[in-house]
Structure 1
């Protein structure tokens, strides 16, 4: 089963929802997800915020952070993932930002990227150093963020299994 299929199945099993914020990947994460039958049960929507001002205005990324560090920064990815979840009313969010190439941008080399996932159990950010032409960089970032979300959802499932069962006659918290 592909990562996108596992993610959709895991979100549906939890009764959870997903929102996607993309910059570097330009819609590829959303496309991978919507290729999965039944995704409409979990996907709330997506925002492709390629321009830096849209990251602040639409997704709530801190403007001072963007001005001081640029859009290719781990905290920007984290805020994109949390911001899109909040903005679109989803339990989980993902964010991608980076430089697809062919040359450097915003003081970062081609292939520098950050992906982030956000959920009730917290936020995770991964730094990527990717090689290859634009399509390869974008595809690798798409795979990385879906794998990161898959891992977060697996950890949430494991935590649910470890949680104590409610006492007989008492509702679960």
Structure 2
């Protein structure tokens, strides 16, 4: 993850961008990857670790109605998490992650399903990635790496 995190920081610094993260299943791994690198404070503002639904609502403003209608693992919640992080941190770019790292899951929301949000002044984009039942550690790592790749793509675009 280190090369991707370094690239995020390099691009953000070059563009004068600031970043926040809103993490559920990754539990702060994205923020940790970024802050492991010296000088990250020039662009990384803060990370929200919102594992519970209550935390998503209290810290990021995710609507109870959205959580009831779609569940925590949904693009709708990822969208509200990313927008909430962007608004509350006052940054130029925010990424969110919510998913099922495992073990477990269900037929409708299987292990390895992770939803991402990316918010900026251009709006919020969302996507769902099916990593599969790789095991908890690998799903979390793959999710953090994917989030870093989303930040790189946004900063390059």
Normalising by the residue count of structure 1, what TM-score does the alignment of the two structures yield? Answer: 0.84
Separation of aligned partners in 2, 1:148 and 1:110: 21
| 1:126 Cα offset (Å) | 2.0
Q: Which has the higher contact order (CA 8 A, sep 6+)?
A: 2
Q: Deviations over 1:69-89 (max 9, x none)?
A: 110000111111111121112
Please name the residue that 1:91 is paired with. 92
Asked if the contact 2:75/2:126 (under 8 Å) is kept, the reply is: yes
Unaligned runs of 5+ in 2: none
Separation of aligned partners in 1, 2:37 and 2:77: 28
Please name the residue that 2:152 is paired with. 150
Report the structure number with the largest CA radius of gyration: 1
Secondary structure in structure 2 of the residue aligned to 1:2: helix
Separation of aligned partners in 2, 1:80 and 1:154: 23
Q: Which runs of 4+ in 1 moved over 6 A?
A: none
Please name the residue that 1:8 is paired with. 9
Separation of aligned partners in 2, 1:146 and 1:82: 17
Unaligned runs of 5+ in 1: 156-173
Please name the residue that 1:166 is paired with. none
Separation of aligned partners in 2, 1:104 and 1:92: 30
Matches within 5 A, 1:117-128: 117-128=118-129
Q: Deviations over 1:31-60 (max 9, x none)?
A: 111122210001111110000111111101
Separation of aligned partners in 2, 1:118 and 1:111: 23
Normalising by the residue count of structure 2, what TM-score does the alignment of the two structures yield? Answer: 0.93
> Would you say how many aligned residue pairs link Structure 1 and Structure 2?
155
Superposition CA RMSD, Å: 1.6
